[in-house]
Chain A
Amino acid sequence: MYKDDFPFFKDNDLIYLDNAATSQKPQVVLDKMNEYYTQYCSNTHRGSHDLGNRATQEYEDARASIAKFMGVGVNELIFTRGTTEAINLLATAYVKDNFDRVMLSELEHHSNIVPWQLHGLQIEVIPVDKDLNIDIKTYEQLLQKYPKSFVSITHISNAFGIINPIKELISLAHKYECQVLIDGAQALAHLSIDLKDIDADFYAVSAHKAYGPTGIGALYGKYELLDKMKPYQGGGSMIDDVTFEYSSFLDPPWRFEAGTQAIAEALGFRAALEYISKLKDLQAHNKILLEHAKSELKNIDEIELYTDAKNISGNISFNIKGIHHDDIGILLSKQNIMLRTGHHCAMPIMKKLGIEGTIRLSFAIYNTKEDIDKCIEALLKAIRMLR
């Protein structure tokens, strides 16, 4: 019973199926954050007292551990507030000055659309097919037409769970001298990630969707690329020397970490990934839940599932014909089933499908087949009430 690892489930009988929005946190994550606040709470990278040294050591050890988890070098991992800040950092400090064009898939979350728009970058849209898989042929045609562009694609679609073939997409992009960012917000909790193997130039993640705290995430970048990037924000801890005329900056990753960082959160982030590392059945469990949910949902009259793709992870999205998703969301909530309804911050793909939104079940390690059965029972009751 993985639920026993999560204090959230101790005193309630809620069924939590909104893990793509944020997951619950295991006790080990809370304990690690508590340890910082109760034993060595102090600022990092400043002064020389023992407490500060301990906090700095823990913070940098967290970076090393997270880098190892993702298969990258310790100096290639910048702490950010999350995926959104990672993408904004990259757009501001690098892409806007080095590229005219960004290619995005139709599945992208708003956080992988709006940051590029804010810098006036030309956006080229890579279409998806009827199963919501990226149309590779059109993608390659776009790469041929616009070589040396920037490409930014999600690893797993937050709205439909599609796992994109990122190794192939990255390899094709490199053939046309493009550089690639992968939005890994949904992937961190569900896939084993080896960034050197997939050869991503950049990769962005959030801790809170992978059993870690909110307010912390990371941007991975190949060191030679990070080294070319300008600072994102100015402040303490990112400088080498400061005068009123001129400032010089530290090397990556510290160049991009101005001001006091989210120290407890970085430590919690590490603890979360260590927790994930111990889950041997993570992907198999996810697959069992997805297949169970899909087969149960298929029995419901007038259900609309939007893809038959097999490469799905983490979540499943649907609608019931003639019923508004918001009505379903409210009635499930009243029956203690917490899931997300709406456009899931992915309005372009919703518009393409001609819908306002969907009902989304998204899974974590603590979910069980019984959770799904209770959800389906509550869903059928909601449908009866709304017909």
Chain B
Amino acid sequence: MSHLSIQEEIDLLCSELELFDDVMDKYEYIIELGKQLLPIDEKYQTPVFKVQGCQSQIWLHPYVKDEKLYFEAGGDALIAKGLVDILIRIYSGHSAKEILDTNSAKLKELHLSEIISSGRQNGIASMLKRIYGFAKEVSEDKGGK
């Protein structure tokens, strides 16, 4: 479980990514994250869990445990998987309220163009929408009960 707030996670990642003077070194690091991302169970590699995004495939399985939201994900391209890992590190293990209270524009601080671009074919941006969508669903379910 994460002990840092979402903003603290973003700040920590920013300071890690700032260490790279060379953009290629930064992407080498992201590729490493992608290589290390644990494979997602095959049962989640289905159209239901697939995130819309034209360039590579990403599957996202969100779930709730002890009132916290968790995300596991997989994909078929290394950089996308590395970026997915970064999003999981930021958002997994937090309450729906904390996610919804965080403006996703804060991710711009990471200076990763693949995350902040809002292109219709950007799978990472679509994944972010899914994370917020799931948080909203959970929050509404809770409110209704």
Contacts and interface: CB of A to CB of B under 8 A. Distances in A.
The judgment on whether A and B are partners is yes
Contact of B77 (A327, A335, A343, A385): A327
Given A330-B79, A330-B114, A386-B31, A324 B24 contact: no
A330 B114 CA distance: 9
A381 interface: yes
Contacts of A330: 27, 79, 114
A319 to B, nearest CB: 12
A334 B76 contact: no
Given A330-B114, A341-B55, A342-B55, A324 B27 contact: no
B23 interface: yes
A127 interface: no
B56 to A, nearest CB: 4
Q: Could you tell me the dominant secondary structure of chain B's interface residues?
A: helix
B80 interface: yes
B24 A326 contact: no
Interface residues of A, number: 16
Given A324-B76, A324-B78, A385 B27 contact: yes
A329 B54 CA distance: 13
Interface in A65-89: none
A326 B27 contact: no
Interface string A348-366: 0000000011000000000
B121 to A, nearest CB: 8
A330 B31 CA distance: 11
B8 interface: no
Contact of A334 (B23, B54, B57): B23
Nearest to B75: A324
Interface string B28-72: 100100000000000000000000001111000000000000000
Nearest to B23: A334
Contacts of A334: 23-24, 27
Given A341-B55, A342-B54, A386-B31, A327 B79 contact: yes
A335 B24 CA distance: 8
A331 interface: yes
Contacts of B79: 326-327, 330-331
Contacts of A356: 56-57, 76
Contacts of A386: 31, 78
Interface in A315-331: 324, 326-327, 329-331
Contact of A381 (B24, B57, B80): B24
Contacts of B23: 334
Contacts of A357: 55
Contacts of B57: 356
Contacts of A326: 55-56, 77, 79-80
A312 B26 CA distance: 38
A329 B121 CA distance: 14
A386 B23 CA distance: 15
Most buried by A among B24, B76, B114, B121: B24
A341 B27 CA distance: 18
Interface of B: 23-24, 27-28, 31, 54-57, 76-80, 114, 121
Given A329-B55, A385-B24, 13 more contacts: A326-B55, A326-B56, A327-B77, A327-B80, A330-B79, A331-B27, A341-B55, A342-B54, A342-B55, A356-B56, A356-B57, A356-B76, A357-B55
Among all A-B residue pairs, the 8 with the closest Cβ atoms: A324-B77, A326-B56, A326-B55, A326-B77, A327-B79, A327-B77, A330-B79, A334-B23
6 contacts: A324-B77, A326-B77, A326-B79, A327-B77, A330-B114, A356-B76
